[in-house]
Amino acid sequence: MKDETIYHIYAKDRCLYNCLKEEEFEVKWAELKAMVGLMKTDYTESDLAFVKCPADKIGGNGGSFDDNLEPSY
């Protein structure tokens, strides 16, 4: 099993999605960018950000990460 890079997506100071695999990230990132451009919201595209966590940097053993993060709902 290959270790995968994970992503966290933020809008301003709120984490919207955490621990996304690359495929999930690409879909969610595209959806969010389209939504803030089309819908009337408090957010703009410049408010969106993400953090890329390479597999070799997650946890100390290359395969685990802290999944005790607060949910974003």
- Where in the chain are the domains? 1-41
How far apart are the C-alpha atoms of 28 and 18, rounded to whole Å? Answer: 11
Could you read off the pLDDT of 1-16 as tens digits, one per residue?
467 899 999 999 899 9
How would you list the strands of the sheet with 14-21, edge to edge? Answer: 14-21, 6-11, 48-53
How far apart are the C-alpha atoms of 25 and 34, rounded to whole Å? Answer: 14
The helix (run of H) or strand (run of E) holding residue 44 is none
What pLDDT score was predicted for residue 55?
Answer: 76
Could you read off the pLDDT of 26-71 as tens digits, one per residue?
999 999 998 887 887 788 899 999 999 987 765 544 444 455 566 5
3-state DSSP assignment of residue 64: coil
